[in-house]
Structure 1
Amino acid sequence: MTHEHFTMVFNIAYTEADRKEDLETMTDASINLRNLGWIRQNPYSNKPNLLLDDEDDAIVEELKYYKKNGGCSMVDNTTIGSQRNVEKVKEYSEASGVNIIAGTGYYVSQSHPPEMNTMSTEELTQIMVNEINNGVGNTGIKCGVIGEIGCSWPLHANEKKVLQASAAAQTVTSCPVIIHPGRDQAAPAEIIRILQEAGGDISRTVMSHLDRTFFSNENLLEFAKLGSYCEYDLFGIETSHYQFTDIDMPSDAQRIAYIKTLIDEGYEDKVVIAHDVHTKHRLMKYGGHGYSHILLNVIPKMLKRGISQDAIDKITIHNPRNWLVFNE
């Protein structure tokens, strides 16, 4: 699973519910069976739902379940600005036996530290290189990916600076990169161009969230030609309403159909998948699909829809491994 979260705090995503009468009763309510249906439709309008950093026992239990069902590794995309906690994630890994790869870099501009405005690309590059080669702070815990690097639409000047630093850090370390693109179908190609101009290796870069970015096979395949990994990482979200924009969020069945198109057109070596769990309601503890959903439910559906076991092995084993392996 190339795109998950374990300690993320997503306060910047809070969005008022469409029904104003729900604000008083639902905004601060704890998750329970009576309001779970509402939270599934309005996940970013319930403030407790945005705090994933206090679910230690539930997450360890889920990771053990993931391992029991054949899971081995996960990438934690929680970066600076979204409550990254590499020490806690190391504890999760040791308690569960699941290998977890930590990320370096910065999330979207709203979450950047105040000093970002005055930091140079070179300074940002050095921070990432140091976290990859030496570890985060004094923890000794080294990062194994650059990202998720957060981008908005339109792209903020500081986000462009972080992209350029990410490409530079990748050049120094060969570390893989993973991107959170802005919510517009033009965003991924713009990001690829910026990374290329800064010397980044697009073949070692994952473009996340294609689920909510491309809505036709034509646009998807046009992007795939650029050479990055194509990631469908919102598996388990079956709600058509997407609070951030007016798009129709695809279902898991539609995600599988897009992936089959990529495979049929020769891109099976460039597909990776995940759930991007980043809110409480998606944990099994709260009636969610959990981190094992792809293993238990999606892969059997993929087989039924004509995707071969060899292709599935590429998507869930070989492609992530090829992307992640690098030399310091």
Structure 2
Amino acid sequence: MLSERRHVTENTLFGASPGTPEMSSLSGKVQTVLGPVEPSKLGRTLTHEHLTMTFDCCYYPPPPCHEATSQEPIMMENLFWIQKNPYSHKENLRLNQETEAVREELLYFKAKGGGAVVENTTVGISRDVKTLKWLAEETGVHIISGAGFYVGATHSPETRAMSVEQLTDVLINEILRGADGTSIRCGVIGEIGCSWPLAESERKVLQATAHAQAQLGCPVIIHPGRNPSAPFQIIRVLQEAGVDISKTVMSHIDRTILDKKELLEFAQLGCYLEYDLFGTELLHYQFNPDIDMPNDNKRIRRVRLLVDEGYEDRILIAHDIHTKHRLMKYGGHGYSHILTNIVPKMLLRGITENALDKILIENPKQWLTFK
């Protein structure tokens, strides 16, 4: 966290405003950690993943009878317990220790037809753009890094003290100049973390996100609070601040808006609807026990509903891998689950190849391209 705070402060002090050469070079392009690329180069894209991060901020203490288990290494003997209580096992929350395993998985993802990954790690959960660049060089997978801040609970005192204008400068700098004291540039704002209820510092970051997006014409992606009203509230804040809703993704729809009527009402607002927890099947959702986490079959039915209702050009899908146990190394589904398991099941459930090409190729391409 100390290094993250330092980089935020440095970016703010230098306060670069968007310059014409940088902005014009991004127009019509997608910005990866290796530089701008033509949108047609992306191919099948996962729009919400993590390749290196820590999630210690969301450690969920287990009951005293399981305290010893939470301290153990990941083993076959405790793997089922970790799968059901993923946020109560400390080692499980440190994905940044698995760079080599992630490299192997990205090579497998590419071999199965994958082309690009949007890496949503932001300030507060140990963003590491140098590692992302290394992974992109090693695997040939296009990696797009996220600018901005995670939920308010991870905001440093310096971040909370910033004005909307200062926060806007930070976001613009991370896209036009580079993130975390490097020249490696982000290609999307987000995932911007929001809680329920929305914290004041989160509201300011949302307003800054809208202001930066209006200047840069860049994509935006939001992590909503765990309440069905949260996405609606966030869209209102963004719209009032001037965001382009057509370039905005609302993540985690599958754990947030469960009611069909509310889902179709939200879909009318015009942002991208992201079902990004494929592979997550929990009996008990630790962060909100009131939510019955849907399984993959239910996610597929929701995607089919949205396609049938005419929203196939507004749907994105991903896994949101952010813990070790979901990697193939630990018996998890890995980054290729959608391509190897979900796509065939979607075809069986009547989602056409044309619709799947939109969801996996065309929609990500349209979203990620700078205006």
For the residues of structure 1 that align with 2:57 and 2:172, how far apart are their CA atoms?
27
Aligned residue for 1:294?
338
Distance in 2 of aligned mates of 1:62 and 1:310 = 27
Choose the corresponding residue for 1:227, options 267, 270, 280.
Answer: 270
Look up the SS of the partner of 1:291 in the other structure: coil
Q: CA deviation at 1:137?
A: 4.2
Matched, 1:284 2:328: yes
Deviation at 1:93, TM superposition (A): 0.7
Give the structure, 1 or 2, with the largest relative contact order (CA under 8 Å, sep 6 or more).
2
Q: CA deviation at 1:133?
A: 1.1
Deviations 1:279-320 (A, max 9, x none): 000000000000000000000000000000000000000000
CA contact (8 A) 1:164 1:195 kept: yes
1:240–1:251 Cα contact (<8 Å) kept: no
Alignment of 1:133-172 (within 5 A): 133-172=176-215
1:96 aligns with 139
Structure 1 partner of 2:236: 193
Q: CA deviation at 1:138?
A: 4.0
- Structure 1 Cα separation of the partners of residues 239 and 230 of structure 2: 14
Residue 307 (structure 1) aligns with: 351
The amino acid of 1:2's aligned partner reads T
* 2:149 partner SS: coil
Which of 271, 284, 290 is the matching residue for 1:241?
284
> Is this contact kept in 2: 1:240–1:250, CA < 8 A?
no
Secondary structure of the equivalent of 1:285? helix
User: RMSD value over aligned CA atoms?
Assistant: 0.8
Alpha-carbon separation, structure 1, partners of 2:64 and 2:269:
43
Matched residue, 1:182: 225
- Aligned-pair distance for 1:240? 2.6
Per the normalisation by structure 2, the TM-score is 0.87
Q: Residue 48 of structure 2 aligns to a residue in which SS?
A: coil
Q: Which has the larger displacement, 134-143 or 34-43?
A: 134-143
Q: Do residues 49 (structure 1) and 87 (structure 2) align?
A: no
Q: Which of 48, 63, 66 does residue 106 from structure 2 map onto? A: 63
Give the residue type in structure 1 aligned to 2:367: W
Q: What is the alpha-carbon distance in structure 2 between the residues aligned to residue 7 and residue 56 of structure 1? A: 7
In the alignment, what sits opposite 2:123? 80
Does the CA-based 8 Å contact 2:129-2:180 persist in structure 1?
Answer: no
CA contact (8 A) 1:49 1:281 kept: yes
Task: For 2:60, give the aligned amino acid.
Answer: T
Equivalent residue for 1:259? 303
Question: What is the correspondence of 1:207-226 to structure 2 with a 5 Å cutoff?
Answer: 207-226=250-269
Moved more, 127-136 or 42-51: 127-136
Q: Spell out, residue by residue over 1:161-182, the C-alpha distance to the aligned partner (whole angstroms, 9 max, x if none).
A: 0000000000110111000000
- The answer as to 2:30 corresponding to 1:9 is no
Deviations 1:16-66 (A, max 9, x none): 22x43111x211111111100000000000000000111111000000000
- Equivalent pairs, count: 325
CA shift, 1:142, in A, is: 1.1
Q: Distance in 2 between matches of 1:103 and 1:128?
A: 10
State the Cα distance separating 1:91 from its structure 2 match: 0.2
Q: Deviations over 1:259-283 (max 9, x none)?
A: 1110000000000000000000000
Match among 236, 243, 247 for residue 204 of structure 1: 247
Partner-residue secondary structure (3-state), 1:95:
helix
> Residues of 2 paired with 1:167 and 1:316: CA distance?
26
Instruction: Show CA shifts across 1:239-274 (max 9, x none).
Output: 231111121100000000011110000000000000
Stretches of structure 1 that go unaligned for 5 or more consecutive residues are none
Q: Give the share of equivalent positions with the same residue, in percent.
A: 57
Q: Secondary structure at the match of 2:96?
A: coil
Partner Cα distance (2:156, 2:187) in 1: 22
Report the alpha carbon displacement of residue 233 of structure 1 after superposing the two structures with TM. 0.3
Secondary structure in structure 2 of the residue aligned to 1:107: coil
CA distance in 2, matches of 1:90, 1:113: 26
Query: What CA distance in whole angstroms lies between the structure 2 residues aligned with 1:131 and 1:177?
Result: 13
Partner Cα separation in structure 2 for residue 39 and residue 311 of structure 1: 35
**Preserved contact between residue 230 and residue 270 of structure 1 (Cα < 8 Å):** yes
